[in-house]
Amino acid sequence: MYKFLFLPIILIILLGGCSVNSQSENFDDEKKEKAKEAVKSFVVSNYKDIDTVEITKLHQSEMGGLNIEGTVNHGRAQFKAGVRNDFSIGNLSVGDEFPDIKEECKERLCAY
């Protein structure tokens, strides 16, 4: 009796585990472009002395979010940004040489 119950339960567990990873969201080109523009706009609007913003890498995180890596001012400083589904910036990690945040954007982030 237990032999007949054991096999279907194992199959359900195995098939359920396979379907978990297949449901991850893939971002199309339009979403990627919007995310890139949001990051560029955020950096230019909130930080001092930004001449250029270059996106070097765009990938999906393990949790399904969109991560963007790039440089500013012709490669002088690096950053990593997490972009939310509504294209707002969830987090921004900056390198040592990254320019300072603008005074008016310290208390509350500037619109971008």
**What are the structural domain ranges in the chain?**
29-105
Lowest-confidence region among 14-23, 27-36, 49-58: 14-23
- Say which amino acid occupies 76: R
Q: Which residues contact 40 (CB under 8 A, 6 or more apart)?
A: 53, 55
- CATH match of 29-105 with 3.10.450.130: yes
At 46-98, the pLDDT tens digits run 999 999 999 999 999 888 889 999 999 999 999 999 999 899 999 999 999 99
Tell whether the model's pLDDT for residue 100 goes beyond 70.
yes
Between CA 81 and CA 37 the distance in angstroms is 12
Beta strands in the chain (DSSP E): 53-60, 66-72, 77-83, 89-94
**pTM across the whole model:** 0.73
